[in-house]
Structure 1
Amino acid sequence: MIESADVIVIGSGGLGAATAYYLATRSTRRVAILERLEIGSQTSPRAAGMVSCLRKSDLMISLIKMAATRIKQFSADIGQPLDWVQSGSLKVARRVVDAEVIQDDLLRGRSHGLDVEEISPDAAHRLNPFLQTTGLATVMRIGDDMYFNPAQLAVGFARAAQGNGAVLLPNTAVTRILIADGEVMGVETTRGRIDAPIVVDAAGAWTRQVAEASGIQVPLVTTAQQLFVTEPVPDARAELPMVRIMDAAVYMRPCEGGFLWGVYEESPRFFDMNDFDANFDIKDLPLDAEVLWRYARDVEAQLPVLLKAAVREHRGGLPTMTADGQHIIGPARTIRGFYFASGCNVAGLSIAPALGDVLAAWIVDGVPPIDLAPLSVDRFGAGPWPDDELITKAAWQYRHFYGAR
């Protein structure tokens, strides 16, 4: 146990571990990563690990392109393993209204130099024979997209941070942020007090609880996300492009000789983390396989393999959602030295290398290297943010992650 640090990062998921790593490499500041359970053990390793380069804004495309570069160079740059495949992806519209969205996507992607094109259903089937042509209106190929092993990223960043002098403190839950005269003084933990002038709340599903314990408000909600990993499937190959069906919000990618697939369902479950006991581990989250099977039946004409392939693993996590579907990165409104790295919106792990880098630069230099105002908590105003309204908007963002109308 330590008594003080220059920066405390609460949470060792993708966002927290990446921030800690880039802080440790950018300065001589003493960095500590505090994790309530084991390092990198909660939602991050249960993610899909899909990198979608065609986002809804110029800022997000710039950040995800930066993150994709970091992922490709991960092993060489930080000396930790990370398995990745640039398979590309197929974004599928079954409805005319969603085909119109794809036309806008094409224009935005080309303006950013992405490898995008509209292809015929037959061409899509040739690229990924598991995607059938029945009911397809429009398909867009995105050559830049990739996937990686989600279990390796957060742990890799944490170990690399430790190799650069950061202190890892697993099984150390933060119970309160210590604040005096509007300024961070440190944290209280289940193992004692640690003094520090800067704290980063990257606590994932517990972000809001960590902040609210000291009177700091943040408008996000914790959401259940689950997926299946199948047993090996004949002719499944790592280089097959990923598939995203817009209106169903179903996704599928190759995984260890089979497929990983999931859905952003229409009525996701939301949780108040205060309802769980202090020892709750996300691996024990109750899951509902019928949700997945219901959507597999919805896309049976396009992806019949989802109903046919035997399931090897059923896993789930607790990502955080915001009302506008964008991350929350940067300082708190009124507390000096308190920063957020949260609101992953089911895409936080893939973009974590970029967000961790720019947030670390902001903390060290005092200003962000790029304009991050669209991701600031200030964009939501001073509140209050009624939970029912927040949940309604977050559920819409969750369901419409692929831009379906």
Structure 2
Amino acid sequence: MSPVLHGRPVVIIGGGVIGISIAFHLAERGYRDVTVLERGLIGEGATAHATGGIRQQFTSEVNVRLVRDSVQFFARFAERTGSPFTFRQHGYLFLLTDQQQLAAFTAAAEMQRRHGVPTELLAPEDVSRLNPQIRVDDLVGAAYCATDGSASPHDAVQGFAKAARAHGVRIHQHTEVVAIETADGAVSGVRTAAGERLAAELVLIATGPQARETGRLAGVDLPVGPHRRQAFAIDALPWLRPDQPLTVDLGSGAYLHPETGGAVIGGNDRDVPEGTDTTVDWSLTEPLIEALVHRFPAMAEASIVRGWAGLREMTPDDHAVVGPLAVPGLWAAAGFSGHGFMQSPAIGDQLARWLLDGNPTIDLSALRADRFNTDQLAVEGVRF
């Protein structure tokens, strides 16, 4: 394939971790005529409410490969961007409670290992060596990857932004795009609420939960909807350590994410209907605690100290929309369905390769926008 860009301006709408990563990777490759437009402050939208998990354990190959490459980048983040960054590779542990889950994770682990991800399948009795507080008598097995982990989405955005600016990228905050303009059927630029017009060879939508409304500025309907996602912080417990794996009980969907001074818990709100309400639903705490106490009996002593909610951008198949849209010159990187932060370095790298070389090294066809008009939807089995 031929390069998509020909030296003219690029406008990225959205200053979350995806948009800023793309800008950084383009500039790192020498393409400096890039402007990021963010209606608020960079990283204060969906990115600000992400819990920071980074896992390679997916059933979809494209998801595995994207996070695998992102893990490699996160491990060298300070070297690549010049900003300090802490990537804690404490691992992810999925607890399996029935044979169907075990079969799916067995097949997924084989695929993950083919792509260089060191996933292990554990017998129930082996789970206790990772965390002796886990109840294992009703488990059929577990899946564990030691190179999974977590990091700060805020630090990632700021590090990408600082390096992008140093390479010449312009980042405009408090700048809302109100129109995507076309000429001769192709994108020609954008107009802001302040009346400023920016010419562009390519406009890329990276507005997360607002991607659908951004697409409509160009007459494109993106199948991306906002859904509330919430989490809670608990105080420190004597047995909790930050080096313990982030543990997901697939039977209930509840997770425990140990951190210094406590932990983050959540995971029982996947079926919240589409909407933009970010009020914390405290009624979900009781069933969440019950599920966690079943799996971690010592959690009976836990005390929730705060809760927060943000918006997660979901698509019908839990995969992102990445690539060109129906209007020439209009592209998207949105709809990451809770996986945007953990995939952001690889998405930036792959889009830079696609736009500048015409040749991404990961097959992104499963993420193409027109897949929703076919029966070729991607399938992701690890959801919580």
The normalised TM-score by structure 2 is 0.91
* 8 Å contact kept, 2:350–2:361: yes
Q: 1:247-266 counterparts in 2 under 5 A? A: 247-266=251-270
Partner of 2:241: 237
**How far did residue 104 of structure 1 move?**
1.7
Partner of 1:342: 334
Distance 1:369 1:129, change over 3 A: same
Deviation at 1:338, TM superposition (A): 0.9
Q: Find the partner of 2:60 among 57, 61, 65.
A: 57
Identify the residue that residue 289 of structure 1 maps to in structure 2: 282
User: Counterpart amino acid of 1:331?
Assistant: P
With over 3 angstroms needed to count, the CA separation of the structure-2 counterparts of 1:166 and 1:230, relative to structure 1, is same
Partner of 2:382: 402
| CA distance in structure 2 between the aligned counterparts of 1:376 and 1:255, rounded to whole angstroms | 36
Deviates more, 1:41-50 or 1:349-358: 41-50
Q: Contact 1:20–1:356 at 8 Å: present in 2 too?
A: yes
How many residue pairs were aligned? 375
C-alpha separation in 2, matches of 1:114 and 1:28: 32
Change in Cα spacing, 1:315 to 1:93, as seen in structure 2 (3 Å) is same
Q: Which residue in the other structure is 2:151 paired with?
A: 148
Structure 1 residue runs without a partner (length 5+): 274-283, 384-392
What is aligned with 1:355?
A: 347
Aligned to 1:365: 357
Secondary structure of the equivalent of 2:23? helix
- The letter of the residue matching 2:233 is V
Contact 2:230 2:280 in 1 (8 A): yes
Q: How does 1:101-120 map to 2 (within 5 A)?
A: 101-120=104-123
2:199 corresponds to: 195
Partner Cα separation in structure 1 for residue 374 and residue 137 of structure 2? 49
For residues 381 and 199 of structure 1, the distance between their equivalents in structure 2, rounded to whole angstroms, comes to 23
Q: In structure 2, do the counterparts of structure 1 residues 152 and 292 end up closer, same or farther at CA, with 3 Å as the change threshold?
A: farther
**Aligned counterparts, 1:4-403, within 5 A:** 6-191=9-194, 192-271=196-275, 285-333=278-326, 335-381=327-373, 402=382
The Cα of 1:261 is off from its aligned counterpart by 1.7
Alpha-carbon distance between aligned partners in 2 of 1:31 and 1:221, rounded to the nearest angstrom: 27
- Aligned residue type for 2:112: G
Aligned residues of 1:101 and 1:403 also touching (Cα < 8 A):
no
RMSD: 2.3
Moved more, 140-149 or 128-137: 128-137
Shift in Å at residue 72 of structure 1?
Answer: 0.8
- For 1:65 and 1:323, locate their aligned partners in 2 and report how far apart those are by CA, in whole Å: 24
Give the secondary structure class of the aligned counterpart of 1:83.
Answer: coil
**Aligned partners of 2:63, 2:349: CA distance in 1, in Å?**
14
1:155 deviation in Å? 2.3
| 8 A contact 2:209–2:224 mirrored in 1 | no
Distance in structure 2 (CA, Å) of the matches to 1:211 and 1:219: 10
With over 3 angstroms needed to count, the CA separation of the structure-2 counterparts of 1:89 and 1:366, relative to structure 1, is closer
Query: What CA deviation, in whole Å up to 9, does each residue of 1:256-285 have, x standing for no partner?
Result: 2211121053521311x6xxxxxxxxxx82
Q: Distance in 2 between matches of 1:299 and 1:312?
A: 16
Matched-pair contact (CA < 8 Å) for 1:249–1:402: no
Deviation at 1:56?
1.5
**Preserved CA contact (<8 Å) 2:88 2:150:** yes
Contact 1:135 1:302 in 2 (8 A): no
Contact in 2 for aligned 1:98/1:247 (Cα 8 Å)? no
Which amino acid is the alignment partner of residue 300 of structure 1?
Answer: V
Deviation at 1:53, TM superposition (A): 0.9
Q: CA deviation at 1:123?
A: 2.4
Identity of aligned residues (%): 28
* 8 Å contact kept, 1:43–1:316: no
| 2:382 partner letter | Y
Amino acid at match of 2:100: V
Query: What SS is found at the alignment partner of 1:238?
Result: coil
What CA distance in whole angstroms lies between the structure 1 residues aligned with 2:186 and 2:361? 24
1:85 aligned counterpart, secondary structure: coil
**What TM-score do you get using the length of structure 1 for normalisation?**
0.86
Structure 1 contact 263–292 (Cα < 8 Å) conserved? no
